[in-house]
Structure 1
Amino acid sequence: MVGIAFTGCNSLDLEPISSIADNKYWQTEAQVDAFNVGLHSKFREKCSYSIFLFGEPRADYYFGESTFGSATQGNERMWNNSLNDVNTVVSNFGNLYEVINQANLMINKVEGMSMNESTKKYYLGEVYGIRAFLYFQLLRSYGDVVIWTDFSEGSSLDLGNLARPASSAADVMKLIVDDLQASETAFGG
């Protein structure tokens, strides 16, 4: 029989070396600028095609069959207006909520930072405008949608309670208008 004794180990109580850890991030304008660049990149990567699908194919520009003579992969449901809960073409709300969550994170962190006021207002003007645009895309495509203005951290999610009711289209429009006003106020004249 082998006995093993465990003793306290203080060598595991280390501070992160990386400057990206949350307690070390959101300290400088350069970090905000880097996050802003990443937000714009994520916006283009995750949302561009979905926003295209939300609008162009449903605007009577396309009809009948694929323009390129290849399979439409179900996209004909867009221009034929035959979308339903089984055949949505765009899943996961086009990944717009992923970018909205990042915008919410930036709003939360930048509003509480002490930095050059004009730079701070510039970033807030941009991010409120992005969030308004994304909610507008959700509103025009789905109508009633979930409004989420807090950022979600993986460690703070209650996995047993993720469902949220959709807000009315009127409430979504109010958020869009409020975000546009916040953007205009931040940008100033």
Structure 2
Amino acid sequence: MEELAEHILDIARNSIEAGATRLTIAVAEDTEENYCCLSVVDNGAGMARELVRRLMDPFFTTKSGKKVKVGLGLPLLKDAVERCGGRMEVHSAPGRGTRVTAEFPYHHLDRAPLGDIAGTIATLLAGNNHLDIFYRYNFNGREMYLDTREIRARLRGVPLDTPEVLIWLRQYLSENEEILHGGEDYEIARRAG
């Protein structure tokens, strides 16, 4: 996978397949502290400890309908983390959901860029109008968040996966990410431009 957002998408799709109706996605990047962390927490079915251990095997999958019994999502993320000298944890319990956390050195040459997180969130919501996502992004101490429950309340019955809503969500996330990356200089230039 070429972007961390693709790993997030893969993990979140697994969460949805496990019955999750709520996802918390958090990304923190700190260029001075040389730190990048992503986490996905769900309220899905959860897994026993032995199953979590087996999920790191690329030749194991829990998906019964697949012709090829291969589950590469977590093993690929684990490989990406280990290539950078980072660490990854998976915590889960039956009936309590799952939390996947991956930490990378921010400046490591092999660390993939964050990528299109706005597209990832829009993709997750498309066709999953029942899903609530809380997304928090922190870049060098500046933070933004998105809570689909707040948006859903303002839409008053308009589904989140309506094309116009998904377009707005992508723009909102992309613009706010640019603001965080540019800080005050970006905001001043934007107002002047």
TM class by shorter chain equals under 0.3
Higher strand share: 2
TM-score by length of 1: 0.25
Bigger Rg, structure 1 or 2:
1
TM-score by length of 2: 0.25
Higher helix share: 1
Q: With a CA cutoff of 8 Å and minimum separation of 6, indicate the structure with the bigger relative contact order.
A: 2
